[in-house]
């Protein structure tokens, strides 16, 4: 019903930048919050940043000042601009969207991308 397509992951050196994107497609009534999560080896998945449909943002303390989340509602797409990357940022990054799949689903159902690997290493 809903698919999230991610792009932009890869290998980057410490201090470098990377931009992730995620586009939602399918049949739905709307998307509430969208966000990015990450999971490092041996660790639990954690919220990196999210953004409401109106553009209000929230960031994990570890990425504040370095990462910027944005979205294009017309394209149902969310972005994550990652600057000043650190080795600790290495993780699989997952796109999330709270999608209203029925007219009664006001809160949205969580849909996930497949994940894209970001490796920060020299």
Tens of pLDDT along 4-49? Answer: 999 999 999 999 999 999 999 999 999 999 999 999 999 999 999 9
Q: How far apart are CA 107 and CA 117, in angstroms?
A: 29
Q: How far apart are CA 27 and CA 101, in angstroms?
A: 7
**51: closest CA among 8, 29, 22?**
22
Q: How far apart are CA 73 and CA 117, in angstroms?
A: 25
pLDDT at 117 over 90: yes
What is the average per-residue pLDDT within 71-79? 96
DSSP 102: S
pLDDT at 107 over 90: no
Backbone angles phi, psi at 19, to 5 degrees: -125, 120
Q: How many CB atoms lie within 10 A of CB 64?
A: 10
Tell me the pLDDT of the chain averaged across its residues.
96
Instruction: Sheet with 67-72: list strands edge to edge.
Output: 2-7, 18-26, 77-82, 67-72
The fraction of the chain above a pLDDT of 70, given in percent, is: 100
User: Can you give the C-alpha Rg of the chain in angstroms?
Assistant: 14
């Amino acid at each position: 019903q809903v698919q999230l397509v991610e792009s932009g992951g890869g290998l980057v050196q410490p201090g470098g930048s990377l931009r992730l994107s995620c586009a939602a497609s399918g049949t739905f009534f709307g998307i509430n919050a969208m966000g990015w999560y990450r999971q490092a080896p041996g660790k639990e998945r954690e919220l990196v940043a999210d953004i409401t449909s109106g553009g209000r943002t929230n960031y994990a303390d570890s990425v504040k000042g370095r990462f910027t989340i944005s979205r294009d509602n017309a394209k149902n797409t969310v972005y994550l601009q990652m600057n000043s990357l650190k080795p600790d940022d290495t993780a699989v990054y997952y796109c999330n969207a709270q999608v209203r799949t029925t007219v009664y689903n006001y809160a949205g159902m969580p849909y996930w991308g497949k994940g894209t690997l970001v490796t920060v290493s020299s």
